[in-house]
Structure 1
Amino acid sequence: MAEAAGQSPAARLTDADAEARLARIDGLLAELEAAPGPTVRRALEAVRLLSEVYGEALARLLEHAGGEPDGRPAVAEDELVGHLLVLHGIHPEPAERRAARAVERLRPAARERGGDVEWAGLKGRVAQVRVSEGGGGCGAGCGAAASGLWEAVREAVLAAAPELAGVERLPEPSGRRAAPAFVPLDALARPASRR
């Protein structure tokens, strides 16, 4: 542990490294929980107590952290820190607001591709989102692109608010899709005499 305190910034974890370690921790804890005996129970209790102390330290850090103009601590924007704050139940923003912001961040990219995404709210612990894939002119592979958009939305919402149980895709309300471009045949046949 003393060596860890003296680590240089070059030794810090990347997001991918942190994700790999979190997955490994989950696996190890699952193995421990399946093993019998008092030593295992004491080890799991030590992990729980350590987690509680780290959670308290994070809560105190949030109290001292400078906030954004809307009162949200800037440190909570970091994905890994945000996950820890959620784990300890101390994230300063409600899950609904974090998930809605994740959808809004995807909106420009969706619109560039002729579609749109819209936050519709929470139903219990399930996020509800409308996703439109756009329309006309969509050639081969369009279904794959639409599927990719929905998957990106689902992943972004659950990354921003991992405590949610899922993401539900709502149907588009009737009348919301843009009408396909239509040029009457007789308009093409008329001479362009007036200009």
Structure 2
Amino acid sequence: MSATTTARPVSAEETGRRIEEILDRLSASGEPAGAAAAEELVRCLMDFYGSGLARVLHLLSAAPGDPLPRLLGDELVASLLVLHDLHPEDRDTRIGRALDSVRRHDLEVAGFDERTGTLRLRAAASGGCGCGSGTGAQEAAEAALACFAPEVRAVELEAAPALLQIGTKTR
């Protein structure tokens, strides 16, 4: 499914009935641990989607104007859209959005391997010492990418080139 297609209509009543039937079957199976785990799973999913819907409502009512940028910029809402293949932005745009959310590390994309899902990043040239952003940058990028671009399965941070100092010879 893509953002240009619509999701199959789902009846809340029918879905609720199906969930109850499945939980009842698991309870009747005689494995209390399995039934308890299934109930916990349903609670976790309900909490996750409930939080997402609450966030959508908050972002829609937060300010006048086009709410789409606010929705797409929110990690929880974006992750729900990506999870269901409903996000209207392409992968590269979402990667850029993720890196924007950790801009203090000043990272730029060096390349993406479609086959492995590996994103190569490097510290952007900022006129500084050229010493890169360190492991904190990679961890921050990985966390942001998990929400905005989960197709990125690995992040590699390229070492910044060494800065050569060229001066005049003094006598």
Query: Which has the larger Rg?
Result: 1
Greater relative CO, 1 or 2 (CA 8 Å, sep 6+): 2
